[in-house]
Each structure stands twice: as C-alpha cells, then as structure tokens.
Amino acid sequence: MNIKPLSLSLSLSLSVVSSMAQLSKLNVIEQCQVSTPQNSSTPQACYHLPLTFLDIPWLFFSPSQPLFFYEFPYPTSHFTSITLPNLKHSLSLTLQLFYPFAGALLARPEPGKPELVYSQGDSVSFTVVESNADFGYLSGNYQRYVEEFNTLVPQLASTGAPSSNCAAKISLLSVQITLFPNCGICIGLAYHHVVADKRTFNNFIKTWASLSRHSFFPTKSILPSYDRKAIVDPYKLEGIFLKEWWKRISSQGAIIGNTKTAMLDPTSMVRATFLMDLTRMERIKNWIVNLCNKGNEPLPVHLSAYVLTCAFVWISLIKSQEKYFNYKCCGQNPNYFGFIAGGLTRLNHPVPSTYVGNCVGFGRAAAIRSELLGDNGIVVAARAIGNTVKKLDKVIFGGAEKWISDWKIMFESDLHVMVSGSPKVDLYETDFGLGRPKKIEDVGVDGTKAIALTESRDVSGGIEVGLVLPKPQMDYFSTYFIEGLNATP
C-alpha cells in the first residue's frame, strides 16, 4: 500500500452551523492519497481505457455521492489504531483490481475522444474527520436538513476544461470517513458515473468491504473485466453522443456536466426516507386492478414492485408540487418520469457481470399532468412506466439517439422526476467488518429533483425511497403518501 500524507495545516477545526441552530465541529484527523500497492500487478506505464458509447452520456451528469452509515461504539483511539489502517490497506488492494477508480478522466479538445487514464502511482484522495454531530439523527429516516450532510461528502479534483492546445483531467473517486466517537462511522464517496454504473460500483465497494473483512482477493471468476469489445454499438451512437458532448464543452467549458440546480432555499431543504413494503405494494396493485375493472380498462402491462413503487411516488410528488407551488396552468403539460434500465439482460449479446463501465439504458415515461392528478392517476402512472419498461425490454436502444436531448428537457423542467439508484443492487450487504450499514443516503440527488431507490435494510422485498424537498413540500408529500396508502383497498 502507498499512502501519501498531505499538509498538516489541514488538521484544523472546522465548524458548520446547521439549519437547526446546532454547531457541529469537525476535526480533520488525516488527509492522504491511497494508491495501489507498490509492485502490484496493475499497469506499470500509462494505461488508456477508452469510453464506450454507453459511458459518454454520463459526462453530462454530476458525480454520485453515496453515504454509508455504520454503528461503531468505540472511541477515536480504537478507530485510528485498528479500523482506519485496515480501511486504507483494503482500499489500496481494491484499487489494484479496480485501477481506473484511481485514475482520471482525460478530456481533449474536439475532435479528441475522452478516455480514462491510469498511471502507476495514481491515487485516490482519502480524508478522515471527527464530528460531534448526532449520528442517530443523521442516520434516521425522518426529515433532516440537507445542509447537515454537506460536510460528509468528499470533493473531486479537476484541472478545468480542455483548451485548444491541452487536455484536462478530472479525478474519478474520492473518499471521506467521518467518525462519530463512540457512536458510528460514515463512509462517504464521490465518484463519476462515467467510470462505473451502479452495478460496477456495487462490485467495487463489495470488493473493498470483502478485503477489509478477510484480506484476500476474490476468486478469478469474479475479477473485474475490462474488455471494451463486450459493448457493441450497432446504431453508431458514439458519434452522436460525442457531438453533443463537444457542443456542451464549447458552450459551458466544464468536463463533467452538472445536473443539479440552485435550490429555492438551501436552508429549508430536508431529506427523508419512506418505506414501501410488500403489503403496501399489494394494496397499490389491488387499487389499480379495481380501478381498471371499474372502468372496463385493460391492466397495465407491467406491475412489478418497481413499477408500483415508482407510480405511487410519482403521483404523491405531483400532488405535493400542486399544493406547494400552487400550479394553476400546467394541467395539459406532459410530465416525465426518467429511470435507468440495466443492460446485461437486455442486450442481444453477453456482457460479463464483472464488466467495469456502464451497461445501462435510459427510459423516459410521459403522461399528461391532469390525467396523473385525476381519479385514475395511479393507473395512468403505472401504465406509462410499465409500457416504457416493456419497450426497453424489447429494444433497449430504441430512441437512444435522443437520450441526451431528452435528459436536457427533463432537467430543465420543473415537471420531471428522475430515479437514482436501484433496489436490485444490494448495497445494504456492504459489510467492512462493521456489520451491515445502519443507513444509506444518496447526497447526489440534492438539487436534481430525483428520488433515490435502494432495497430495504430490514424488510425483505421492500424498497426505500429517499427524497430531498423544501420542508413544506416534504410535509405535503408525507401526507399524500400516508393518506394514499390508507385509501387503497
């Protein structure tokens, strides 16, 4: 393992005043760079990994920022002497396998194609801080102010935008460990989707956790695959996506896009988590069936747990928007519900489950707002989302040439919902030797109008729904969510 210490001047006390008028003190314990072990089997010279056409669209997105909260009833001395060295060493071993995470995104001026680059000695920023914030409060499901999570998220370094005579680089992964003495630990990460979809990230963090527990490498059958030939571009989408990216570079300058918007009042924004269990899903399904029977309509084609959850959340969000923003003239406007669909089972050729990179498609369901707010709104929502899922099942790249322009429409509209994460990725099984996470949060959804979906920690088959909204709108959403479930047959 190669750990590079940085300036000791960072060991200063930082303070943050929360929206609850509480003072949370942060002490920087350590900041260093973690790289692969010396004399490791990773490439010795500069290694270039080209982006595929499925990676390029993620250049338009902000970094993902997951937080993993673990109970840790031990003092700081125990953490720094035992737990911290193990976390750093196991991360170093993991980067030996997933070396692009230690590298950078290299962006050249048009017509250069962006790529991932790694050189022996490249590293990941690793920060350790101690906090006196309330661990139980931060790791709860109830409403909590978003400002109190900002200090838990690491930053990613960048050299700026490519110019006419030079390339630009941006780091791909950064880690911050926040210790709440005698209470818990938060492992916070920032990574760019361009290097990994949720499946790849899950493989990465599960490998890190496994090495932290056992200190031996995975079997050869689950080692990462970097075979870019596994991703076939039958519709020549790469050129289309690159032109869109070059256009954005010339107009905005940044290498990576920013899907976040200025929040109305950051100090009033709260996050909360809602649980959708199997009983509630069944009630929603029965509600849809009864409405269809009553109206002599066919059932939606796809009523999976995912569709039922998304449809109900979509309706509840729209009702809360109506109440909070007092919309009066948007009834006939289309509303969009965007989500990501896994590609491993939808492509016409095999892709290894251990493939490192992106293998996902984009779905955008649309429905008229007035119909979503009507008595049969839940049926309209379930039908729109289910039909989109079925289209992706049949032709995942249908309409893919418009993916980027569709995203642009969605992110510029107040009338859209986007899903981040997937309940099929079992992140709650990520055990670093600390047990299962007490809570997982996705700070990356802040300011994006997106919802975060993960599998439930404690309820088999359940789905956790994470949202960030202005507090008054969150109150309205909570009311509609609870009343809607109680009103179902």
Cβ neighbors of 40 (< 8 A, separation 6 or more) are 96
DSSP 121: T
Tokens standing for residue 93 = 């071993």
105 CB-contact burial (10 Å; exposed 0-12 / middle 13-18 / buried 19+): buried
Position 20 scores a pLDDT of: 43
Position 23 scores a pLDDT of: 45
Domain stops at, among 213, 229, 252: 252
Position 251 scores a pLDDT of: 75
- Give the pLDDT confidence of 414-458 residue by residue, as tens digits: 778 999 999 999 999 999 999 999 999 999 998 888 899 999 999
The residue to which tokens 């032709």 are assigned: 395
Q: Is 193 a catalytic residue?
A: yes
Position 93 scores a pLDDT of: 93
Query: Does residue 259 form part of some domain?
Result: no
Is 70 exceeded by the pLDDT of residue 277?
yes
The parent domain of residue 182 ranges over 2-252
**246 and 374 share a domain?**
no
Position 416 scores a pLDDT of: 87
Q: Which of 272, 24, 269, 17 is nearest to 140 (CA)?
A: 272
- Give the pLDDT confidence of 380-398 residue by residue, as tens digits: 999 999 999 999 999 999 8
Q: How confident is the model at residue 16 (pLDDT cuts 50, 70, 90)?
A: very low
- Of residues 192, 193, 416, 442, which has the active-site annotation? 193
Q: How confident is the model at residue 273 (pLDDT cuts 50, 70, 90)?
A: very high
**290 and 354 share a domain?**
yes
Position 221 scores a pLDDT of: 59
Average pLDDT over residues 304-333: 88
- Give the pLDDT confidence of 46-84 residue by residue, as tens digits: 789 999 999 999 998 889 999 999 999 999 999 999 999
Q: Kindly report the average pLDDT of the chain as a whole number.
A: 87
Q: What is the pTM of this model?
A: 0.92
Average pLDDT over residues 459-474: 95
Task: Tell me the angle at which helices 471-487 and 305-325 cross, rounded to the nearest 10 degrees.
Answer: 130
**359 and 244 share a domain?**
no
**184 and 287 share a domain?**
no
Average pLDDT over residues 123-136: 96
Query: Does residue 261 form part of some domain?
Result: no
Q: How confident is the model at residue 334 (pLDDT cuts 50, 70, 90)?
A: confident
Position 25 scores a pLDDT of: 81
Residue pair 144/79 in contact (Cβ under 8 Å)? The answer is no
- CATH number, domain at 195? 3.30.559.10
Domain stops at, among 252, 277, 303: 252
**213 and 276 share a domain?**
no
Average pLDDT over residues 407-415: 78
**147 and 219 share a domain?**
yes
Is 70 exceeded by the pLDDT of residue 116?
yes
- Of residues 134, 233, 277, 431, which has the active-site annotation? 431
Average pLDDT over residues 321-328: 82
Q: Is 431 a catalytic residue?
A: yes
Share of the chain above pLDDT 90, in %: 69
Position 405 scores a pLDDT of: 87
DSSP assignments along 24-52, one per residue:
EEEEEEEEEEEEPPTT-SS-SS-EEEEPP
- Domain count for the chain: 2
Distance CA 215, CA 469 (A): 41
**245 and 272 share a domain?**
no
Position 112 scores a pLDDT of: 80
Position 253 scores a pLDDT of: 63
Is 60 exceeded by the pLDDT of residue 12?
no
- Give the pLDDT confidence of 205-230 residue by residue, as tens digits: 999 999 999 866 666 557 899 999 99
